[in-house]
Structure 1
Amino acid sequence: MVCTLGAAIPPYTPHAVSVSLPTWKDNISYVEGERQVIDAMVTGYPRFFTHLAVQELARQCRQKFGPWGEACMLFPSRKFADACRSFMMGRGNEQGIDIPIRLVQHIICAHNSSSIELHIVLYPEKYYSIAKQFWQHTGLGISSRLAERCLIMLQNQNQQPVSLTPPGIRVKSSNKHYSAQLPRESQAENVIEDLDRDQSIHIEERYGGNLPQDAAASAKRAMKRRIASFLVCESPSDWSICGPQGSEVGSSVRGLHKVSEDDVYLYPAGMSAIWHAHQLILATRPPSKSICFGFPYTDTLKILQKWGPGCEFIGDVRDEDFNKLEKFLERESAECPGQAPASALFTEFPSNPLLRCADLPRLRTLADRHDFLIVIDNTIGNFVNVEVLPYCDIVVSSLSKIFSGDANTLGGSLVLNPRGKHYTTLKQHLVTTFEDTYFDEDAIYMERNSRDLARRIRIIDKNAEAVCDFLYARSVASGSPLKNTVLKDVYYPKYITTENYDKCKVSADAGYGGLFSLAFVTPEAARVFFDTLSCYKGPSLGTNFTLACPYTILAHYFEMDWAAKYGIGEYLVRVSVGMEDTQTLLEDFGKALTAAQATLTSSTN
């Protein structure tokens, strides 16, 4: 059985990054803000749902520093608080509104002399929706673990009984369908109902030892080396040292030499890495539009549109879209001779949710000809299966996804290509401006989770390909001769833009990743298929367990006509395959497909 509505995914995880929305109707009710769904949620995806610990800390800060009628948002850095204020004032000015905003620095000290610095943005409550845009798009807000640590320190200051679990973390649901196969947190005993902090940490750590809390710098260095080496050397022999600072880790599989851990920058979230990449380009390149090539995850496009001179959006990556791109570059070059027609091009490899891949060598040729940068989000392709750095200037990735796998912490990375034409300029700017705001405890968990990345991806690749082959053979797109074919198409790199994906595969036997999307011939078939699935159902992807969602409903509910123009249909089901037993997965998807096909039979009777 699936998790109950609003429960944490994975269960028994106070810092879970997904939430159970088990039916199609639940997802619609969630985006429409219906109280019976919102009130049932004990957690949610962190950039869309404010974690209960963050809510409580914000309440205390508002009570201490803000008069009645003010709301606040919390940031780990003065720079981020300033950026939030600038964004809110800019959006207000566009609407002819002067938004009064105050910044407060709050230093919370512990008895052992350690301290945490909070930066509080206070504003009238009625402008919450504008502040929330900044929080959601940038991923710069404080993490739930940082909020929890602040609450502990505040409680100790007041000599109150210390309860380290934020209010509302009461988990009663479980997914027994895959309980024997799920790793780590997902195998936690179902008898636990109320978790105190000791129990919660025990569950999070029980299947792998975390580094001690004072080893966060080593954990971050280990992750940077892991990313820089593209998994050439996955496990240093001494985690407390992890090699000399800044040491070179060797060449990549495609011969890209001198990639160093110093070319890797860690951020609190994937969107934070993307926002910082865009800010880096705005700071180092002449003012010019950005290009978004291919249909991206929604907040990437919002970042390019809301910061800087604007964005040229080209919603697909096929030959006709390359023609549009070339015409745009030629037109801009003609209008401004001697200037680059664009500052940078952003693309995903593969894209979310249609899993299409741009021809990266062709893009590289255009970038060299017109002198713009290329930024590639390889979150879905991942470091193990594809290598895209030789074709771009910057690689960004959400480490919260498959790099972590456990869905219990956030993180993001930015990697500079040391052979890029503009590497020196980009590097010099980062050396002088980079601020490490990745909370130590989040980094500790991320380091632990990512140690076996290559092993997990191999299992997930195998499972996803087996499930996709099963479904594709029964789809209209494959020319299936089956009657009552309920599947219209299976979006997966093995079947679409495959030649572009294969150009970047690390090796011939590398897989196609764990993500795919399904299009159905009728809305009812999509709903029944989704509701019948027995896996976890909620936002996010790249988890060690299978996770499904009605993607367009969650990401584009209020702009579905616009999304449909780019092939993102309303009744799209996106699936992130996990590490369960392959046959169990096939049986579950077969059961859901049979139920969906029955809707066609009943409609013709």
Structure 2
Amino acid sequence: MPNSAAPAQIPLGSSVPILTAHAISVSLPTWDDTVGYEEGEKRVVDKMETGYPRFFIHRSIQKLAALCLSKFGRPDELCILLPTSKVASEGRDFLASRTPPIASRIVEFVICPSASSLVDTSASKSHNAGVEVIELQILLFDKEHWSTAKSFWQHTGDGICSRMAERALAFLGETPAGSQARPPTPPSERQPSKAPINRNRHYSRRTPSVPATPTTPSTPAFSSGSGGTHLAADDLPVESVKEESLTPDLTTYLEERYGRNLPLFNAPLAKQALKRRIAGGLLPSDEDFGKIDDVARGVAHGSGKKAVTEDDVYLYPCGMSAIWHAHDIARVARRRKGEQEGISVCYGFPYTDTLKILQKWGPGCHFFGRGGSEDIDDLEKLLATTQPPVLSLFCEFPSNPLLRSPDLARIRKLADQYGFVIVVDETIGNFINVEVVTFADVVVSSLTKIFSGDANVMGGSLILNPNGPLYEELKAVQDTDYEDHYYPEDVVYMERNSRDFRARIKRVNDNAYEVCDFLYRHSLDDTTMPAEGKVVKKVYYPRYITQELYAQAQRHPPLGKGGFGGLFSVTFTSDAASKAFFDTLGCAKGPSLGTSFTLACPYTILAHYLELDWAATHGVERGLVRISVGQEDQSILSEWFESALAAAQAADKADKAASASASAQ
């Protein structure tokens, strides 16, 4: 049993990583904190500084929305802020499609970096250049319909981003939400600092009282005792900066100093670099360039098929936006052929919003909650009897949170026979570990996750398979309908973060393999050891779950141990064991996955709190804990998981003793 003390947890409600202005996770360090968040407990809600961006609207976006309401709204109205007129029209149409229809109106607000910020709507706009003006579309509606409008924001992922909001606030002479500093310098006016880090005036105040927090250096460097992750020795740890000294300019300085961002005016080049990286190519700036062969996508050597190119890759502001648009592309393509849309299929238990998209847009969705081989026969019966023909099938490879892999080979045969679009979400597997393009018509991914790793920017991608039977008609839709509204500053950060993507995958693969091996040996599934005293029920990880189906798309040789990715889930023999394991685990706790540091959450509680019984019918237990393994030293990970397992065993033993005592009375 390790003797060193567990690391201090990131405080409840703080950003993860801590002191990160645009963090995409938030600290919920205990099981009860997560339940309190879901139930709206004041002690939790009042401490929430941020949250996952599609669920928790960033404070700066809230501040900007309040300013827009004061200028354009009525007392009985609220609004959401959207980046383009096309997205705003989609939002208005969504509200109008509800039963009964919800009335809304759109106001266009163009903001210039001057005292006179409201200009005529016919004025020149340069949204994608991200320099001259900010264009906002304000969708206004009656206050009582806030939850419905918020669901559009959440499901589509097409709301404005926090960096755009902060820039708009700067143009209006306002500071970001929560800041007492002067307005930040607009990115177009910033000059990269070349001063040595120890000469920068912002670093004069430090405090040792802020607990250690995960950070994301370009090369992993870890302390051996505290369990916290730190920057390399010649860099100043971000956690040593006092929160009140974190001015907007300092936030930018920190991220750009450590990240070596491209200048903002190079955002188009950053987009090109991202597209090539996602298509499987390397750039001279990528780590190990010249040592790792390009990862061919969609084509085997000598097959005569076309490889994925940059022209087949489309960028979106987040992964859910890519999923929403994949569904929309399929719908438009079917309508342009003069045919009825047809229902879609959700195959396997998915991330929650994917199913909601398929249910709320179009004629409906048929849900195969298990998504294993046992469902294939039922799927084939549905395809043979449904009219109009099924539109599309959405699946994850592997799935979140059960890490099950669908039978892509058989699904491809059925798609060829019945003409539906296959959309595969590769976020969990990632294209370094698996190659799903050859089976799919459309491949989507959340770049927010392991592709970025730094947990400070959102992004999504969509790939059209150039060899797919529906390629030409899907490509035709994109040629006419695709709108690039991925915010330039987010693009720059995403390009920076993803440069060492491949190296991180290897380390994460290795770490997850070792952690899962340890937990599996203590699970009921491992029959080589007696079951007595075991509290781990099952480890959900591609090595143990539908491995033969995962192998259909697995790259060989794998990168690192197994090539199974960094995500797994674990269930326990009692709720007491689940809670104790989670509460004791020394890593960061909060939503999201794929971070360069280990991140855990009680997934079912967090994602399905209002539908726990429904989730359980599909094998997603209330006590499931999902863990995204990071790049920490394996000695640190071993200490964390050994301590957590010991706590789970002790809690389970105490729970059984208490139950026995109560029964005896």
TM-score after normalising by structure 1: 0.92
In 2: Cα distance, 1:129 partner to 1:186 partner: 43
Residues 229-308 of structure 1: matches in 2 within 5 Å? 229=280, 233-236=281-284, 254-255=300-301, 256-285=305-334, 286=339, 287-308=341-362
Cα pair 2:435 2:554 within 8 Å, conserved: yes
2:231 aligned with 1:224: no
The correspondence of residues 389-428 of structure 1 with structure 2, limited to 5 A, is 389-428=437-476
- 1:23 and 2:30 matched: yes
1:83-106, CA deviations, whole angstroms, 9 ceiling, x for partnerless residues? Answer: 111111212xx1x3x533111000
- Partner Cα separation in structure 2 for residue 54 and residue 550 of structure 1: 28
Note if contact 1:488-1:521 (Cα within 8 Å) is conserved in structure 2.
Answer: yes
Displacement of 1:2:
1.0
Amino acid at match of 2:533: N
| 2:299–2:307 Cα contact (<8 Å) kept | no
Q: What is the total number of aligned residue pairs between the two structures?
A: 580
Q: Does residue 190 of structure 1 match 2:236? A: no
Matched AA of 1:557 = Y
Distance (whole Å) between structure 1 residues aligned to residue 259 and residue 520 of structure 2? 37
Q: Which residue of 2 aligns with 1:322?
A: 376
Q: Deviations over 1:215-269 (max 9, x none)?
A: 000000000000112xxx4223699xxxxxxxx9976563452321010000001
CA distance in 2, matches of 1:574, 1:142: 29
Deviations 1:348-395 (A, max 9, x none): 000000000011111101111111110000000001110100001000
Superposition TM-score, scaled by structure 2 size: 0.84
Could you tell me which runs of 5 or more consecutive residues in structure 2 were left unpaired when the two chains were aligned.
1-7, 116-130, 186-208, 215-225, 288-293, 658-665
CA distance in 1, matches of 2:44, 2:114: 41
In structure 1, which of residues 500, 504, 514 is the aligned counterpart of residue 553 of structure 2? 504
Counterparts of 1:175 and 1:46 in 2: how far apart (Å)? 20
Contact 2:373 2:407 in 1 (8 A): no
CA distance in 1, matches of 2:521, 2:143: 53
Residues 325-345 of structure 1, C-alpha deviation per residue, up to 9 Å, x if partnerless? Answer: 11111221xxx4xx6x21110
> 1:228–1:264: 8 Å Cα contact kept in structure 2?
yes
Q: Residue 239 of structure 2: SS of its match in structure 1?
A: coil
Q: Write the letter of the residue equivalent to 1:536.
A: A
Other-structure match for 2:82: 75
Indicate how the Cα distance of structure 1 residues 413 and 307 shifts in structure 2: closer, same or farther if over 3 A, else same.
same
Matched, 1:546 2:598: yes
The Cα offsets for residues 1-27 of structure 1, whole Å up to 9 and x where unpaired, read as 110100000111100000000000000
Q: Match of 1:310, as an amino acid?
A: G
Q: Of residues 17, 20, 24 in structure 2, which corresponds to 1:13? A: 20
Cα-to-partner distance string for 1:111-138 (whole Å, 9 max, x where unaligned): 4981111000011111100001101111
Match of 1:135 in 2: 153
Is the CA contact 1:292–1:301 (under 8 Å) kept in the aligned structure 2? yes
- The SS at the match of 1:326 is helix
Give me the whole-angstrom Cα distance separating, in 1, the residues matched to 2:104 and 2:421.
35
Please report how far the alpha carbon of residue 188 of structure 1 lies from its aligned counterpart in structure 2 after TM superposition.
Answer: 1.7
Distance 1:65 1:594 in 2: 58
The separation in 2 between residues aligned to 1:237 and 1:470, in whole angstroms, is 37
Distance in 2 of aligned mates of 1:545 and 1:399: 16
CA distance in 1, matches of 2:286, 2:542: 38
Structure 1 gaps, min length 5 = 166-170, 240-247
How far has the Cα of 1:205 moved from its partner?
2.5
Secondary structure class of the residue paired with 2:259: coil
Alignment of 1:137-536 (within 5 A): 137-155=155-173, 162-164=182-184, 174-175=212-213, 177-180=226-229, 187-194=237-244, 195-229=246-280, 233-236=281-284, 254-255=300-301, 256-285=305-334, 286=339, 287-332=341-386, 336=387, 341-479=389-527, 480-481=529-530, 483-510=532-559, 511-536=563-588
SS of the equivalent of 1:384 reads coil
Q: Aligned partners of 1:183, 1:293: CA distance in 2, in Å?
A: 44
User: Could you list the per-position Cα deviations for residues 273-330 of structure 1 after superposition, in whole angstroms to 9, with x for gaps in the alignment?
Assistant: 0000000011011310100000000000000000001101011122221111111112
CA contact under 8 A between 2:213 and 2:239: conserved in structure 1?
no
Quick check: 1:267–1:412 contact (8 Å CA) kept in 2? yes
- For 2:107, the equivalent position in structure 1 comes to 104
Q: Report if the CA contact (8 A) 2:285-2:499 is conserved.
A: no
Would the aligned equivalents of 2:9 and 2:586 in 1 still touch at CA under 8 Å? yes
Distance 1:473 1:63, change over 3 A: same
Cα offset, 1:594, TM superposition? 0.3
Distance 2:430 2:378 in 1: 28
Alpha-carbon deviation of 1:503?
1.7
Secondary structure of the structure 1 residue equivalent to 2:228:
coil
Contact residue 11 and residue 173 of structure 1 kept, 8 A? no
Q: 2:432 is paired with a residue of what secondary structure? A: helix
Matched with 2:132 is 114
Q: Which of 581, 589, 594 does residue 646 from structure 2 map onto?
A: 594
The one-letter code sitting in structure 1 at the alignment partner of 2:256 is: E
Contact 2:261 2:496 in 1 (8 A): yes
Please give the alpha-carbon distance, in whole angstroms, between the structure 1 residues aligned to 2:409 and 2:645: 38
Residue-by-residue CA offset, 1:38-82 (whole Å, 9 max, x unaligned): 110111000010100100000000000002121010000111111
What secondary structure is seen at the aligned counterpart in 2 of 1:499? helix
- Equivalent residue in structure 1 for 2:41, among 18, 29, 34: 34
The offset of 1:173, in angstroms, is 5.0
Distance in structure 2 (CA, Å) of the matches to 1:65 and 1:172 = 41
Give deviations 1:436-486, integer Å, cap 9, x for gaps: 100000000000000110000000000000000000000001224153101
Amino acid aligned to 1:139: G
How well do the aligned residues superpose, as a CA RMSD in angstroms? 2.5
CA contact (8 A) 2:26 2:591 kept: yes
- Structure 2 counterpart of 1:143, which letter? C
CA contact (8 A) 2:598 2:630 kept: yes
Conservation of the 8 A alpha-carbon contact between 2:12 and 2:27: yes
Aligned mates of 2:494, 2:247 — CA distance in 1: 22
Distance 1:201 1:208, change over 3 A: same
Contact 1:472 1:478 in 2 (8 A): yes
For residues 47 and 655 of structure 2, what CA distance do their matches in structure 1 show?
A: 34
Residue in 2 aligned with 1:168?
none
Q: Is the 8 A contact 1:249 1:258 kept in 2?
A: no
> What is the Cα deviation at residue 508 of structure 1?
2.7
Q: In the alignment, residue 16 of structure 1 is paired with which amino acid?
A: A
3-state SS of 1:330 partner: helix
Q: Deviations over 1:532-565 (max 9, x none)?
A: 0110000000000000000000110001111000
Instruction: Evaluate the alpha carbon distance shift between residue 183 and residue 237 of structure 1 in structure 2; reply closer, same or farther with a 3 A threshold.
Output: closer
- Measured after TM superposition, the shift of residue 498 of structure 1 is 0.5
**Distance in 1 separating the partners of 2:36 and 2:589:** 15
Q: Could you say which residue in structure 1 is the equivalent of 2:221? A: none
**AA partner of residue 273 (structure 1):** A
Which residue of structure 2 lines up, in the alignment, with residue 59 of structure 1?
Answer: 66
1:424 to partner: Cα distance: 0.9
